[in-house]
Structure 1
């Protein structure tokens, strides 16, 4: 259902992009030529943790990343919606990572002991 809503929104807004999804594989939305030219890629997992979701285990999310190419290094922005808590984790290359509007960082805690 989340994937259908995303496709509908992209089509309604005339977005030209390649979608890479666990559910659909690779699919061009809008103009394939424009998507290739712009290198616009959306990586989508409409229900990350779908086995948990089916079993009622509250550890699942919706994950979307935007890239200007097909490699991990090409990712510019990403967002994860925790379906249980409704927390939104997001990051933008060069700007950092956030939980909702609060900046988050990795811990400097040494766990080697």
Structure 2
């Protein structure tokens, strides 16, 4: 449909969107469905990364908004990095959607010269 939040909403089409497909997530990372206590729906999932630089990543999620926040909004096409970012936020008690959006906004600010990567301590 041409509306995937991309690069902090500067674009609406992400060329690597197929990396984030439900099929790819289910076939390669979902270990089992997970639900809230006493809920019969089990609409969440438990994912893990088995190989590569993010091996050992495991945890609940991610949701669509978290995938877009850490993925297309940041111009990141690596689903395993998105899963790892989701896991880190969950462990630190951070909201995944808000954190990903702040990162995308910060990247946009650096791209536009509003502040430099040095201002971010990078």
TM-score (norm 1): 0.30
User: Quick check: which one's helix share is greater?
Assistant: 2
TM-score (norm 2): 0.28
Structure possessing the higher relative contact order (Cα contacts under 8 Å, 6 or more residues apart): 2
The answer to which structure has the higher strand fraction is: 1
